[in-house]
Structure 1
Amino acid sequence: MKFSKTIFTILLVAISTVSCSSDDGADGVDGQTGATGPAGSANVIYSAWITAPTAAAETIDGTSGMSTTINAPELSADILAKGTILVYVSFGSGTYTLPYTSTAGGFVNTITAISTLQKIKLFRFRHDAGGTVNLPTTLSWRYILIPGGVAATAKTAKLDYSKMSYEEVCAHFNIQ
């Protein structure tokens, strides 16, 4: 038995040596591994900075405010059901994640986003329910849509994009 194992091993080595000759084909060019590129934004959809139409007075769930709507043609039923929708407002002093609460016109108010199929309604209301604060057409808006089918990794599973700054979200998804 020991003898047949030895012959088998020798035969296997001999066959391997013969079949691995350097004359099997043309030599290839040695490639170099390039540097790892930045994380991409595969599957993530984002708009350009856009302005919204003039706002109009509206009451939503018993709350009076001003609203306007921006088109988001990529906002699908699947993203509404399973994805993440981030909306930002930008004006003179910076870029802010919605909902955004501030004191404007001397009153505490909030701007929020209400997402529906292919549309995002921007709604601004006063906390004291004493009237409205306008949504000027000079504000700039941007949305980022993260489909629910983007697989989470250990690194991204713990991320709450709504608590990240605009700059952090853009860096994470390599958004210009």
Structure 2
Amino acid sequence: MKFSKTIFTLLLVAISTISCSSDDGSNGIDGTNGTNGTNGLDGKTGATGPAGTANVIYSAWLTAPAAVAETIDGTSGMSTSINAPELSEDILAKGTILVYVSFGTGTYTLPYTSTAGGFVNTITAISTAKKIKLFRFRHDAGGTVNLPTSLSWRYILIPGGVAATTKTAKTDYSKLSYEEACARFNIQP
């Protein structure tokens, strides 16, 4: 029996040595990758902006020749003209023309109404291809008020862009003060 016990003990030691070997076995099979999630929805397309004004043309400050008496549409006044070589038929038809007058007390958008000479009068601009006529008339039709050569004039020409639709309205630049126009179009005052 002693022999059997010894064999049994040796057998047990052999089995445990074999089962506790340093061999870890083979690696398991890699798992499969999960499925990718779905992309989020794209945002809504924004509204189309107004046509740009990259081609804005502006003059230096100009002086005009001495004014002469003239009657336009039955209204007597004084007129002179400044050259605007970039003022085309296309700009006249589709664009915007801004004209400003500058004198001692500030810069003003035409038409400009004042009480110069003691009478209510207006200076307005009448644009034609390559020329801008400056016309001053009294409201009471009682004579004329001069347009001194000391006045300075500047024009800004804004070529027309895309035609307005029911969804987009054409921008009304004619209401811009001189300072607003300079800021809007990056013009040095």
The answer to whether 1:49 aligns with 2:61 is: yes
Rounded to whole Å, the distance in 2 between the matches of 1:56 and 1:41 is 36
- Report the CA distance between 1:151 and its aligned residue: 8.2
TM-score normalised by the chain length of structure 2: 0.67
The answer to whether 1:107 aligns with 2:119 is: yes
Deviations 1:93-121 (A, max 9, x none): 10000000000110000000000010000
Rounded to whole Å, the distance in 2 between the matches of 1:141 and 1:150 is 29
Residue 41 of structure 1 contacts residue 174 of structure 1 at CA under 8 Å; is this kept in 2? no
- Aligned pair count reads 136
Residue 85 of structure 1 contacts residue 143 of structure 1 at CA under 8 Å; is this kept in 2? yes
The answer to whether 1:87 aligns with 2:99 is: yes
Residue 83 of structure 2 contacts residue 132 of structure 2 at CA under 8 Å; is this kept in 1? yes
- Report the CA distance between 1:159 and its aligned residue: 3.8
Corresponding position of 2:41:
none
Which of 135, 140, 145 in structure 1 is aligned with 2:147? 135
Query: Which structure shows the higher strand fraction?
Result: 1
Matches within 5 A, 1:9-28: none
- Report the CA distance between 1:162 and its aligned residue: 1.3
Q: Considering only CA atoms, is the larger Rg found in Structure 1 or Structure 2?
A: 2
CA separation of 1:159/1:146 partners in 2, compared to 1, >3 Å: closer, same or farther?
same
Matches within 5 A, 1:143-162: 143-149=155-161, 159-162=171-174
Q: Which portions of structure 1, spanning 4 or more consecutive aligned residues, are displaced by more than 4 angstroms?
A: none
**For structure 2, which runs of at least 5 residues remain unmatched after alignment?**
1-31, 36-51
TM-score normalised by the chain length of structure 1: 0.72
CA-atom RMSD in angstroms: 2.2
Corresponding position of 1:66:
78
Rounded to whole Å, the distance in 1 between the matches of 2:125 and 2:100 is 9
- Report the CA distance between 1:164 and its aligned residue: 1.6
**For structure 1, which runs of at least 5 residues remain unmatched after alignment?**
1-5, 10-39
For residue 105 of structure 1, give the secondary structure of its aligned residue in structure 2.
Answer: helix
